[in-house]
Structure 1
Amino acid sequence: MPEYIFSSQEKETEYKRLCLIQDSFDEKSKTHLKKAGLKANMDVLEVGLGAGSLASWLSEEVTDIGFVLGVDLNTEYVLDTKNYEVFEGNILDLETSKKFDLIHVRYVLIHNTSSKQILQRLHSLLKPEGILLIEEPDFTLAKWIDAKDLDGCKRVNSALCKMFESKGLKPYYGSVSHLSLEEVGFEIKDNKSYLHLCSGGEDVANLMYLSTKALQESYIQTGACSLEDIQAYLHACEDTESLGVYYATIAITARKSEILFDNKKDIELNPETNLLEDGVYQAREDDEIFACYDLMRVLRKNINADYFVAQIKEQMKEGYELFYLIKNNTVSCLAGCKVSNNLAWGKHLYILDLVSDTKERSLGYGKEILDYLKQRAKAQGCDEVHLDSGVQRFEAHKFYLREDFKIASHHFSYKIEI
């Protein structure tokens, strides 16, 4: 595990930085915790105490009949621990028979190459159906809008990301953390993302000022920026006329599942060989459709196995088509789409569902089925291919942009109350 990047920070400066994190994000964290079900009498674990403000608040919320344990590598910045217990050390070294109703982690996993092992440990520390709330950043989403030296500020953003990568860490961890959660046995219940857009002098800008000041040598060592770039960035953090997205935070609420997530499902379509050659197939029969259920549920978590086939067949009456990609006799990727015609886009193929096995992403399977759909659209005389993607699915957005899709519009929805 690499050394914590702020471990050599002067104590007074580090305490100020931790207090800025509290001032900037505590209220949002409290909202997420309440939505996750926080209540009196709960046993709660806070991983990454910082200066201790959230642990103190949690102890008040669970009252005297609840229990709060705070964990941090360094607890010297925690000033008030009278209402909760503290463990100083790595969460992987925590020895306890205690099980928790709720665990909260903020800005911890991005600093750990052992993040998956930590998630496995947290899974084991939760009671059945227990809840984990993580809040982790994605620094690759930083974007400067107005600053006196835009290019210099951008180079510092690049250096920040390269510094993480040089330590074997992912600067975009927040945006892909849901994959690790699902892999170790969590069911995602809520996923929110926030871009921290602010002017110089605001809390997040002040936080990034202190962080950049502390890490400037590490940034320069990456070769991605110079001392002059650092100075330009620090000036922008203080300049009230500057404006930028400093990074994004992704907050995910997940529930413990006792069954490890596994989307693989053998296909039994050929009774003679029980094998299918690798390639894209169209699901038409009931058994083919149902073979896609497990993987579809990764994307559409509200679907029910008892009604899945009937729902798909009802959609097929309106032109819906379901395709699946076989790799090693397994459904590894699937896509649902339909051909439509309207004034805005003319004849087009609209992709309603597109998902690949979480364990097999980055193997090109999404691209393979997407290329198939593009060819199919062309063969059917379509002018364009369209799709929507949730605002929080940053990795999916990067994939679509790589595949030459353009961000053409905003999608709005209105829920009709019955």
Structure 2
Amino acid sequence: MEHNESGGTGCPAGQTYLLDNAGKEASARFAALAAIFDPGTIRHLEERGLTSGWHCLEVGGGGGSIAAWLAARVGSTGRVLVTDIDPRFLESLQVTNLEVRRHNIVNDALPEAAFDLVHSRLVLLHLPERERALARMVAALKPGGWLVDEEFDSSIDLVSSANPGEVYSKTYVAMARTMDSRGVDRRFGRRLFGRLRAHGFVDVAAEGRTFMWHSGSPGVSLLRSNYEQLRSAMIDAGYITEREFNEDLAGLDDPGFMMPSPILWTVWGRRP
């Protein structure tokens, strides 16, 4: 594994990324994300024809599960560059055809027209400068190369329910308000199809995936880690009280708990 650093926080001056990799909850979050979403991500990457010898870019590698899979898939004749603003969870990927780079997708340069595949998951929605970041990802593709991006649409009805026990807790609503206040675009997944068309991509298509999260599932593990990491931000902003937070956290262990997940939109297209 090669290791290259090019600094940058990826956040506006004076702000920190809400779900910072330095948080003690990050490892649990990455494990849950991999359990929930990796099977679908891998299916979509395979369907794009990914094979040995490809050069791939993974933007915002997080816990590294997809970067490691890419490196194994492209083999010794392929290369994978995986970037993150905080690559602490990627540094253990001791793979000869994989380079880890500390990198700010908004401000730091990337090789242009260098990759057969560029992939990212749950990165752009967090960036106020998401259009600039997307343009950099587009420019990094070879002509004919595939972009596969996966982003949430969490702008769902937070009031009504279809099942007894199905709830959007006060803490979930507070988390949404906190993200809105930090410039997160919670509908960006739904916008992606149009954004790739606007960049002139061909063979653009999309799929939305959603799940019913219930007590004991990886989805509830993800909720728990996000709630705990955002606890101070939500309470300090006055979006929720400490008592309400503790009640909702305990409610995740209720055998009857259930809630639909946000929609994860996977959108793909080829650069002409």
Amino acid in the other structure paired with 1:118? A
What's the CA shift for 1:109? 0.6
| 1:139 partnered with 2:154 | yes
Note if contact 1:50-1:72 (Cα within 8 Å) is conserved in structure 2: yes
Q: Paired residue for 2:101, among 87, 99, 103?
A: 87
Q: Distance in 1 between matches of 2:113 and 2:270?
A: 18
Does residue 1:192 correspond to 2:207, yes or no?
A: yes
Q: Is the 8 A contact 1:43 1:99 kept in 2?
A: yes
Question: Which among 29, 47, 50 is matched to residue 35 of structure 1?
Answer: 47
Name the SS of the counterpart of 1:141 in structure 2.
coil
Structure 2 residue identity aligned to 1:112: L
Q: Structure 2: which 5+ runs fail to align?
A: 1-10
The residue number in structure 2 matching 1:182 is: 197
Q: 1:69-108 alignment to 2 at 5 Å?
A: 69-78=81-90, 79-83=92-96, 84-92=98-106, 93-96=108-111, 99-108=114-123
Amino acid at match of 1:58: L
Change (3 A) 1:95 1:47: closer
Aligned residue in 2 for 1:125: 140
Give the Cα–Cα distance (whole angstroms) in 2 for the partners of residues 146 and 220 of structure 1. Answer: 28
Residues 1:236 and 2:251 aligned together: yes
Aligned to 1:253: 268
- CA–CA distance in structure 1, aligned partners of residues 235 and 202 of structure 2: 40
Is the CA contact (8 Å cut-off) linking 1:46 and 1:105 kept in structure 2?
A: yes
Contact 2:210 2:260 survives alignment (8 Å): yes
Query: Deviations along 1:61-107, whole A, 9 cap, x unmatched?
Result: 11111111101111111221323011112124134356101111001
Deviation readout 1:304-363 (Å, 9 max, x if unpaired): xxxxxxxxxxxxxxxxxxxxxxxxxxxxxxxxxxxxxxxxxxxxxxxxxxxxxxxxxxxx
Letter in 1 for 2:19: F
- For 1:234 and 1:82, the matched residues in 2 are separated by 38
TM-superposed deviation, 1:126: 0.3
2:20 aligned partner:
7
Structure with bigger gyration radius: 1
* Residues 1:110 and 2:125 are matched in the alignment: yes
Does residue 210 in structure 1 map to residue 214 in structure 2? Answer: no
> Structure 1 residues 233 and 146, CA, compared in 2 at 3 Å: closer, same or farther?
farther
May I ask how many residue pairs the two structures share in their alignment?
Answer: 253
Contact 1:159–1:222 (8 Å) recurs in 2: no
Q: Tell me, yes or no, if structure 1 residue 67 matches structure 2 residue 79.
A: yes
Same amino acid, percent of matched pairs: 25
Post-superposition CA distance 1:190-243 (Å, at most 9, x none): 211112212111001111111011102222344443333322332232222211
Alpha carbons of structure 1 residues 95 and 198: separation in structure 2 relative to 1, 3 Å: closer
Question: TM-score normalized by structure 1?
Answer: 0.57
CA contact (8 A) 1:103 1:133 kept: yes
1: distance between equivalents of 2:112 and 2:131?
A: 21
The one-letter code of the counterpart of 2:64 is G
Q: Contact (CA 8 Å) 2:28, 2:221: kept in 1 or not?
A: no
Between the aligned partners of 1:8 and 1:53, the Cα distance in structure 2 is 15
Q: Kindly indicate whether the alpha-carbon contact (under 8 Å) linking 1:119 and 1:184 is maintained by their aligned counterparts in 2.
A: no
Q: Does the alignment pair 1:49 with 2:61? A: yes
Structure 2 residue 35 is matched with structure 1 residue 23: yes
Change (3 A) 1:97 1:132: closer
Secondary structure at 2:269 match in 1: strand
Shift of 1:135: 0.9
Secondary structure at the aligned position of 2:213 is classed as: strand
Normalising by structure 2, we get a TM-score of 0.85
Contact map agreement 1:142 1:248 (CA 8 A) in 2 = no
1:86 maps to a residue whose letter is V
Pairwise CA distance, 1:158: 2.3
Q: Distance in 1 between matches of 2:244 and 2:155?
A: 18
Question: Equivalent residue for 1:289?
Answer: none
Matched-pair contact (CA < 8 Å) for 1:136–1:174: yes
Cα deviation code 1:233-283 (max 9, x no counterpart): 3223222221111322111112213xxxxxxxxxxxxxxxxxxxxxxxxxx
2:119–2:147 contact (8 Å) kept in structure 1:
yes
CA–CA separation in structure 2 for the residues paired with 1:62 and 1:16: 28
| Letter paired with 1:63 | G
Tell me, in whole angstroms, the C-alpha distance in 2 between the residues paired with 1:19 and 1:173: 23
Following the alignment from structure 1 to structure 2, what is the Cα–Cα distance between the partners of residues 115 and 47? 13
- Aligned counterpart, 2:6: none
Question: Does residue 168 of structure 2 align to residue 156 of structure 1?
Answer: no
